[in-house]
Amino acid sequence: MSERICNIYLFYKILNINIPEYIKLRIEQETFFLLNNLEYFKNSINNHIINNSRAIYFSGLMLNKKKFIVEAKKIFLSNYKILITQDGFL
């Protein structure tokens, strides 16, 4: 789901065309689903949570929803130190 949201964002952004309303509605539904089903596994953390935050952020940009952008930043900031090494690798 995260990859689909990101790919849709990039597709329409790069082609500089408007996103149809029915796709926006679907993206919003999927974003709410993601927010309620973040990908933590067995009380651990992995790179999926970064993908989730990226998709939620892109969704906020696509839909002009500041709430999604704020939530994406919170998710990222609360998890990136665990995932990214001091050398900058995931």
pLDDT in tens, the chain (90 residues): 899 999 999 999 999 999 999 999 999 999 999 999 988 765 555 678 889 999 999 999 999 999 999 999 999 998 877 777 777 766
- Which one-letter DSSP state was computed for residue 46? -
Q: How far is CA 24 from the centre of its chain?
A: 14
pLDDT of res. 81: 79
Residue bearing tokens 């790179």: 47
pLDDT of res. 45: 58
Amino acid sitting at position 79: N
Phi, psi of 15 (to 5 degrees): -80, -10
